Amino acid sequence: RKEVEQDPGPFNVPEGATVAFNCTYSNSASQSFFWYRQDCRKEPKLLMSVYSSGNEDGRFTAQLNRASQYISLLIRDSKLSDSATYLCVVNDGFQKLVFGTGTRLLVSP
Amino acid sequence: EAGVAQSPRYKIIEKRQSVAFWCNPISGHATLYWYQQILGQGPKLLIQFQNNGVVDDSQLPKDRFSAERLKGVDSTLKIQPAKLEDSAVYLCASSRPRGGQETQYFGPGTRLLVL
């Protein structure tokens, strides 16, 4: 079983749609969780950290369910500029980050 | 604040040749990481340095890959000899330790193609 699993997509949505990505992780000792965004042929950049209480940043909402070892990212009112690959990232319980394969999002006009 | 610098940006070599990549982290960042990202996959950690010491190199293919960070600032990653399956983007990242909550900042990467 992979340490971090994501649906690779692609998710094709129209502008203005709401889209949700899910991610599961296998290491119950993981303590910190993140979503990174990676544009085509660019480096990954931190989108947001994920907390147990859930957190929101504008149109983006991240949720963590420790019991189910499940992380989600919700994007509301999708923009063309949201087209990218979204990487689920989990700390391994020490200092190492483990990246999922990423979920590709394509937002069309 | 200057970001993570990497060079070269692109490299094409033939199998069995050697190649070296250079990384200069963000000033003041004690932790430096080298990742390998194969097309269609997420980044995979190769080696992590804390200052000039190795924290984790469990996924570094040590028969052909080596890395150093002699003065605790910039770092080089070397592949010798290269194989076809080493074709990937090599990403360098740095962070300021915060007990596991640190944000990693990535450089633009070096795209390696092995023919």
B57-108: pLDDT as tens digits: 999 999 999 999 988 899 999 999 999 999 999 999 999 876 556 788 999 9
Interchain CB distance below 8 Å, B42 and A95: no
Mean pLDDT over all residues of chain B?
A: 93
When CB atoms are compared, the residue of A43, A45, A102 closest to B42 is A102
Give residue A104's pLDDT band: very low, low, confident or very high (50, 70, 90): very high
Give dist(CA B70, CA A17) in Å, integer: 50
Chain A positions contacting chain B at CB under 8 Å are 4, 8, 31-32, 42-46, 49, 87, 91, 94-102
User: Smallest Cβ distance to B43: which of A49, A95, A99?
Assistant: A99
pLDDT computed for residue B67 by the predictor: 97
CA dist., res. A17 & res. B101, Å (int): 31
Interchain proximity B56–A96, CB inside 8 Å: yes
Instruction: Give the distance from residue A4's alpha carbon to the nearest chain B alpha carbon, in angstroms.
Output: 10
From the list A49, A96, A100, the residue facing B48 with the nearest CB is A96
Higher-confidence position of A92 and B81 = B81
Contact A44 B106 (CB under 8 A): yes
Q: What pairs with residue A62 in β-bridges?
A: A55, A73
pLDDT at residue number A88: 96
Mean pLDDT, all residues of chain A: 93
To the nearest 10°, report the CA torsion of B7, B10, B16, B20: 0
Mutate to test the interface with A, among B49, B50, B103 (most CBs of A within 10 A): B103
The predicted pLDDT at position B99 comes to 59
Q: Is the pLDDT score of A39 beyond 80?
A: yes
Decide which of A97 and A2 is more confident: A97
Separation CA B75–CA B77 (nearest Å):
7
pLDDT at A77: 98
Lowest mean pLDDT of A41-45, A68-72, B100-104, B110-114, name the range. Answer: B100-104
